[in-house]
Structure 1
Amino acid sequence: MSMFKLFFRSLISRMLLLTICSVVAGQAISSFFWVHQFSESEKKSVIANAQHLAESALSTVVFFNDLPLKYRHLVLEQLRGMGGSRFFVSLNSEKIHINPIQDSKLKRQVIATVSEVLTTGIAADKNLEIEFSSPDDLHVLKNDILLKDLPPSWGAYSLIIPTAEPPILVLQIEVESNEWLYLAAILPPPYLLSDNQLISAQQILTLFFTTLLLLLFIYLLFRQQTKPLQKLAKAVSVMSIDLDQAPLKEHGATEIVDATRAFNRMQQKLQRYIQDRELLFRSISHDLKTPITRLRLRAELLDDEQQTERFNHDLDDLEILVKGAIQSVQDTDIHENIQYVDVLKLLLQISENRTEKIVIKPASISPYQGKPLALKRCLSNLIENGVKYGGKVDVQVVDSDEKLEIIIQDNGPGIPEHELKTIFQPYKRLHNDDQGHGLGLGIARNIIHAHNGDLHLINREQGGLEVVIIFPRNYKK
């Protein structure tokens, strides 16, 4: 089942599979009914022809049976010379052994029909042998003589058709003791005695080329129609990284045009919303600096030093919040073009001055499509945290067709389990040092989310923290 899903994941491959199943099922059903109807019609024709031939054979048998013995060979010579009979006729002193053709239901029906007609005019004590033989293996006159060995003057031409090898009906009647009347004739067309197949080799060949041409046309058509869908899927995947990408061209089928138009409108609304949000946030953060500075001046005019210190402490906290908000916007909203990034090279740049503390395990990595400055800032924050609290960091990169995984491990104290869900909140800090504002992890996760990725923090059993970054590979170079 997994192999089936692997080979038929795309819309084109599923449509081709559906077409193959439809064509094969349709042809099989139509061929069944056509062959059945055709076979019944052919069988009726064969039975009717066999009945007429048996009536002619009966007339010949009665004619020879009524002839005096001394005239029978004379009449045979006249028949061969003048071609006056549809049968190859001979009088033999022994019964000729006939090699029968392959048995079938229709063959048995024909023999039964001929036997029924002949027994109505022949005495019951007369031996009657009825069989079908192939022209190349038909014995005549004697058991050691084949039809193909006779000269044309013997009437063998009546049983030979150069363009076909129809089965030959052979009748042998013992008219006298040790005297057998031998009659051989070809049934009128159709020369059909074998059971018909549901689908013949010619039909299979026709079905194959018809299906091949149909699949080719469907593939070209759907490939052309699915191109806009592929562009739409790529644009949706890239939108979280590059919201300012150019609008998609609206073309293709009506449904695809509607979906593309809806995507373009959604992108325009998001662009306006983000621009308004950035403008409002930057304005508020910038405007807060002036009243903070004014309040500091007024606090200095207070006579109570203790009260002045409290005011300054609150203003410091407020200024930290404003600076942190501005930093969060600046670090997260990096306006740069998307390009293929060598992640391993990026990691080596981060660790080039501290190789004794940052160990990068070599690996074969394909370029990743993203924003290089944002990725560098994200990875730098996470690696710096590992070095700061763990002393040493091991970085491993695992690449595959589905995802790019970056694993950062340190030997620090880790994060308490109850804090793992809240650690990404702004200004959330677990240590009492004076460096940072508690925004690094949140900014790093926002950058990863902007690349459609995910960030996981795991406490290692042997101690330390493991940071797992997963970037999906939508398009691999």
Structure 2
Amino acid sequence: MKNSLCMLIQSIDHLSLSASKHSPEDAEDLAHLHYEASRLNTNLLQLLSLYRAEKHQLPLTIEEHYIVDIVEELIAKNEVYIKNREIKVEINVDEDLAWYLDMDLIGNLLNDIFINALRYSNEKIIISGYEENGKLHIKLEDNGQGYPESMLDLVDMPMQQLDLNAGRTGLGLFFARLISSAHENKGERGEIRLENGGELGGSVFKLILP
């Protein structure tokens, strides 16, 4: 199923390139289809990771990666939807910034946050990456209406109490906390933070890894 979804997304990308030149309406429909297919693919990967975690078989492949490469791949995956929504994405990441992490899991975590930001943002998203107090910080900001209070309240809730059926506030948040906390170094675990405001006045998502 995973391979089929990836092939579907690639096909949508190719069709969108052609449609954007000849039929703006078709291009818009394909962009929405791309968004839904990406969400489905992300949810599938999340469910697979949760299943493996429940069986205590969630493997982490920790290697050094340049953060700017992860961010650029994130944008490339969602280029169709970015162009259709005319969202400006600003990258503030030092090209030399590298960190030890599981690229697949962190990439999937950030992709889920990013496509939500694309959906709820009005026109701009800022992705920042930097080291602070010996930890990696990756921050995504948008200029939408911000996170609802109900979602902000869930950040500190015990993971076993999270409602996985709660849409945007359920599975995605559980997955983000699971993957971030799985990254451990010298007794410290990764974490996520949600807030409203920031530079753009909308949602602010922070991933912090030791």
**Structure 2 partner of 1:406:** 138
1:360 counterpart = 2:78: no
What amino acid is the match of 1:381? D
Contact 2:138 2:207 in 1 (8 A): yes
Aligned counterpart for 2:191 among listed residues 454, 468, 472: 454
TM-score by length of 1: 0.27
- How big is the shift at 1:366? 3.3
1:441 to partner: Cα distance: 2.3
- The residue identity in structure 2 corresponding to 1:342 is Y
How far residue 459 of structure 1 moved from its aligned partner, in angstroms, is 1.1
Aligned-partner SS, 1:345: helix
Q: Does 1:468 align with 2:206?
A: yes
Which of 416, 428, 444 aligns to 2:148? It is: 416
SS at match of 2:104: helix
Paired with 1:325 and 1:382, the residues of 2 have a C-alpha distance of 12
What is the CA–CA distance in structure 1 between the aligned matches of 2:91 and 2:47, rounded to whole Å?
30
Alignment of 1:320-469 (within 5 A): 328-332=46-50, 333=52, 334-352=58-76, 353=79, 354=82, 356-391=87-122, 392-400=124-132, 402-422=134-154, 425-429=163-167, 438-451=170-183, 452-460=189-197, 463-469=201-207
In structure 2, the CA distance between the partners of 1:438 and 1:400, relative to structure 1 (3 Å rule), is closer
Quick one: structure 1 residues 350 and 326, their matched pair in 2 at CA, closer, same or farther if it must change by over 3 Å? Answer: closer
Percent of paired sites with the same residue: 23
Structure 2 stretches lacking a partner, 5+ long: 1-41, 53-57, 156-161, 184-188
Q: 1:426 to 1:366 in 2, by over 3 A?
A: same
Q: Would you say how many aligned residue pairs link Structure 1 and Structure 2? A: 143
Structure with the higher fraction of residues in strand conformation? 2
Partners in 1 of 2:208 and 2:202 — Cα distance? 20
CA RMSD of aligned residues (A): 2.9
Q: From the superposition, tell whether residues 342 and 460 of structure 1 become closer, same or farther in structure 2 (CA, over 3 Å).
A: same
Report the Cα offset of residue 326 of structure 1: 7.3
Query: Post-superposition shift, 1:407?
Result: 1.1
Q: Deviations over 1:95-114 (max 9, x none)?
A: xxxxxxxxxxxxxxxxxxxx
Write the distance in 1 (CA, Å) between the matches of 2:146 and 2:43.
26
Kept after mapping to 2: 8 A contact 1:422/1:428: no
- 1:143-154 matches, within 5 Å, as none
C-alpha distance in structure 1 between counterparts of 2:101 and 2:127, whole Å: 20
Larger Rg: 1
Assess, with a 3 A threshold, how the Cα gap between structure 1 residues 385 and 453 changes in structure 2: closer, same or farther: same
Cα gap change, 1:372 to 1:426, in 2 (>3 Å): same
Where in structure 1 are there 5+ consecutive unaligned residues? 1-323, 431-436, 473-477
**SS across alignment from 1:351:** helix
Q: Is the 8 A contact 2:67 2:93 kept in 1?
A: no
CA distance 1:365–1:427, change in 2 (3 Å):
farther
Equivalent-residue separation in structure 1 for 2:43 and 2:117 (angstroms): 24
Distance 1:418 1:373 in 2: 29
Q: What's the CA shift string for 1:53-108, capped at 9, x where partnerless?
A: xxxxxxxxxxxxxxxxxxxxxxxxxxxxxxxxxxxxxxxxxxxxxxxxxxxxxxxx
Change in 2 beyond 3 A, CA 1:411/1:340 = same
Q: Secondary structure at the match of 2:112?
A: helix
Q: CA deviation at 1:418?
A: 4.2
CA contact (8 A) 1:361 1:397 kept: yes
